[in-house]
Structure 1
Amino acid sequence: MRKALVAGLAGVLLMSSAAAATASTTQLALPAPAGPYAVGSTDLHLVDHARQDPWVAGTTRELMVTVRYPARPGGGPRAPYMTPGAADIIAEEDARQLGIDADRLGYTFPTHARTDAPAAGGRRPVVLYSPSAKYPRSVGTTLLEQLTSQGYVTVAIDHTHEPAAVEFPGGRVERRVLPPGTDGKLLIATRVADTRFVLDSLETLTRGENPDAALPAGLSLDLTRVGMFGHSAGGFTTGETMVSDPRIDAGADLDGSMAYSQSTRDFGRVADEGLDRPFLLLSAGNHSAASDGSWQEFLSHQRGPVRQAHLADGEHFSYTDYQALLPRLGLDSASVAPFIGTVDAGRSIATQRASLGAFFECFLRD
Structure 2
Amino acid sequence: MLTTLLAVVLAATQLTLPQPTGPLRVGTATAHLVDTSRPDPWVAAERHRELMVQVWYPARSVRGHQRADWVSPGVAAIVNPPDSGFTLPVTHGYVGAPPAPGRHPVLLYSPGFGVERTASTALVEDLAGHGYVVVTIDHPHDAGFVEFPDGRIALRDIPTPTSPEQEEQLLDKVLDVRVTDTRFVLSRLRELPAATAMDLSRIGMFGHSMGGATAAATMLVDRRIRAGLNLDGSFTGPVIEAGLNRPFLMLGSDTHGDEQDETWTRTWAKLRGPRYWLELTGSAHLSFSDYQVLFHQIGLPADQIEQTVGSIDGDRSVAIQRAYVRAFFDRHLRGRPGTLLNGPSPRYPEISFPAAAG
1:29 is the counterpart of 2:16: yes
Deviations 1:153-190 (A, max 9, x none): 00000001112211111212111111222611111100
Aligned partner letter, 2:77: D
Where 1:26 maps in the other structure, the secondary structure is coil
8 A Cα contact 1:90 1:165, kept in partner:
no
8 A Cα contact 2:255 2:261, kept in partner:
no
Q: Which residue of 1 aligns with 2:340?
A: none
Number of residue pairs matched by the alignment? 326
User: Which aligned pairs between 1:261-340 and structure 2 lie closer than 5 A?
Assistant: 268-288=237-257, 291-340=260-309
Aligned partner letter, 2:284: E
8 A Cα contact 1:89 1:165, kept in partner:
no
Q: How far did 1:58 drift?
A: 3.5
Q: Which residue of 1 aligns with 2:310?
A: 341
1:63 is the counterpart of 2:51: yes
Deviations 1:249-280 (A, max 9, x none): 00000000013xxxxxxxx2111111000000
1:196 is the counterpart of 2:183: yes
Aligned partner letter, 1:134: G
Q: Which residue of 1 aligns with 2:213?
A: 236
Measured in 1, the distance between the counterparts of 2:5 and 2:149 equals 30
1:114 is the counterpart of 2:83: no
User: Which aligned pairs between 1:1-366 and structure 2 lie closer than 5 A?
Assistant: 8=2, 10=4, 23=11, 25-59=12-46, 60-75=48-63, 76-91=65-80, 103-107=84-88, 109-181=89-161, 183-203=170-190, 205=191, 214-216=192-194, 219-259=196-236, 268-288=237-257, 291-366=260-335
Measured in 1, the distance between the counterparts of 2:193 and 2:7 equals 38
Measured in 1, the distance between the counterparts of 2:105 and 2:17 equals 24
8 A Cα contact 2:256 2:262, kept in partner:
no
Where 2:233 maps in the other structure, the secondary structure is coil
- Of residues 134-143 and 329-338 in structure 1, the stretch that sits farther from structure 2 once superposed is 329-338
Measured in 2, the distance between the counterparts of 1:68 and 1:288 equals 34
Aligned partner letter, 2:193: L
8 A Cα contact 2:120 2:289, kept in partner:
yes
Where 2:37 maps in the other structure, the secondary structure is strand
Q: How far did 1:118 drift?
A: 1.2
Where 1:28 maps in the other structure, the secondary structure is coil
Change (3 A) 1:50 1:328: same
Change (3 A) 1:29 1:119: same
Aligned partner letter, 2:174: L
Q: How far did 1:355 drift?
A: 0.6
Measured in 2, the distance between the counterparts of 1:42 and 1:290 equals 43
Aligned partner letter, 1:251: G
TM-score scaled by length of structure 1: 0.85
TM-score scaled by length of structure 2: 0.87
Deviations 1:116-145 (A, max 9, x none): 111100011100000000000000101100
Change (3 A) 1:180 1:222: same
Where 1:169 maps in the other structure, the secondary structure is coil
8 A Cα contact 1:78 1:113, kept in partner:
yes
Where 1:159 maps in the other structure, the secondary structure is coil
Aligned partner letter, 2:202: R
Aligned-residue Cα RMSD (Å) equals: 1.8
Where 1:248 maps in the other structure, the secondary structure is coil
Runs of 4+ in 1 over 6 A off after TM superposition: none
Change (3 A) 1:233 1:26: same
Unpaired runs of 5+ in structure 2? 162-166, 336-358
Measured in 1, the distance between the counterparts of 2:7 and 2:257 equals 26
Change (3 A) 1:199 1:331: same
Measured in 2, the distance between the counterparts of 1:194 and 1:236 equals 14
Measured in 2, the distance between the counterparts of 1:294 and 1:323 equals 24
| Higher relative contact order, chain-length normalized (CA < 8 Å, sep 6+) | 1
| Percent pairwise identity | 43
Q: How far did 1:215 drift?
A: 2.0
Unpaired runs of 5+ in structure 1? 1-6, 93-100, 206-213, 260-267
